[in-house]
Amino acid sequence: QVQLVESGGGVVQPGRSLRLSCAVSGFTFSNYDMHWVRQAPGKGLEWVAFISYDGSNKYYADSVKGRFTISRDNSKNTLYLQMNSLRAEDTAVYYCAKDLSPPPKVFDIWGQGTMVTVSS
């Protein structure tokens, strides 16, 4: 079955870096755009980043632009989120999500999430 499994979360000090991974199975990863979405504790959902199926197009939320980088390795069926210069406000559960396509920019399959805590 279709499955997305995030990993790499943890506790990190402000200003440090962390890389999240999302291993996918059950569908042809290289055919689909992908996203990262986060949710701060007790808060709503916030879209973070998008990458096209071939990695040629990327978009970011203003709140992470210049600090986070989304990437993918289609040979490994894995999506990544490199997070640098982390801030307390980046504390959240991070979900990877598959794009429905068609239509685009709708999240039809989600992982279980990985928690990132930024604290000294």
Nearest-approach distance from CB 47 to other proteins, in angstroms: 4
From the list 27, 10, 9, the residue with the least C-alpha distance to 97 is: 27
Which residue, 14 or 51, has its beta carbon nearer to other proteins? 51
Per rule CB under 8 A, is residue 5 in the interface with other proteins? Answer: no
Instruction: Give the x/- contact pattern for other proteins in 47-66, rule: CB under 8 A.
Output: x--x--------xxxx----
Nearest-approach distance from CB 21 to other proteins, in angstroms: 16
Rounded Cα distance between 119 and 11, Å, is 7
CB 92 within 8 A of CB 18: no
Torsion 91-43-78-66 (CA) sign: negative
Which residue, 7 or 16, has its beta carbon nearer to other proteins? 7
